[in-house]
Chain A
């Protein structure tokens, strides 16, 4: 099956700085890469996703990039704010597969200091 690795496991940045979280995947057939944010004590929620037919997607301060050749994708958060502090999970899957499985990375604890 798919194997997703995520780095770093913890990340501390000053408010206003940028944060980058990187993930690699093993199955070249994977074509869907979502990112979930989980605030302390809350449920994971989708914040952005990218499909393999595009290389980059932006939504305000967050962006995701995908390098299919190298099999890695990254989450970029610009102008970080304290409310960005959370655990972020990347995932990979084969969109359209009847199995419907997401393979998650182990998460990155992002702390934004005011």
Chain B
């Protein structure tokens, strides 16, 4: 299993450009999350999804959109990039329902390797 993977690893954008970050997981997890990490700010939740076809806003959703068309993929879009979106972006996934052995959605989150985005 590859776990959680992210594409691309690095990207430089100019202000106003758009891009999509791809997160993929092969653990059959129901829940997927997008975080941004900035120095001294910890991990802040942008958007998350509790299942295929569903998305919800986190604490810093402005300027981002997401889609979860397939269970294994969670896409994060920037329609018009701004310098304030310069950050490291992490995707995470959690929660596999295994019949009677149901784990909680808030159990271990597995993180991807991150995408370093610079907006100039």
Q: What's the Cα separation between A25 and B59 when bound, in Å?
A: 17
**With A32-B104, A46-B109, A94-B106: A106-B40 Cβ-Cβ less than 8 Å:** yes
Taking CB atoms, residues of chain A closer than 8 Å to B43 are 44, 89, 104
- Say yes or no: B45 contacts A101, CB within 8 Å: yes
- Say yes or no: A44 contacts B106, CB within 8 Å: no
- Say yes or no: A45 contacts B111, CB within 8 Å: yes
What is the predominant secondary structure among interface residues of chain B facing chain A?
Answer: loop
What is the predominant secondary structure among interface residues of chain A facing chain B?
Answer: loop
Say whether A61 faces chain B, with CB atoms less than 8 Å apart. Answer: no
Nearest B-chain residue to A30, judged by Cβ: B106
**With A43-B90, A89-B42: A99-B111 Cβ-Cβ less than 8 Å:** no
- Say yes or no: B40 contacts A100, CB within 8 Å: no
Q: What's the Cα separation between A96 and B58 when bound, in Å?
A: 18
Q: What's the Cα separation between A9 and B39 when bound, in Å?
A: 11
Taking CB atoms, residues of chain A closer than 8 Å to B95 are 100
- Say yes or no: B90 contacts A44, CB within 8 Å: yes
**With A43-B90, A44-B111: A105-B42 Cβ-Cβ less than 8 Å:** yes
Instruction: List chain A positions with a Cβ less than 8 A from chain B.
Output: 1, 6, 9, 32, 34, 42-46, 49, 89, 93-102, 104-107
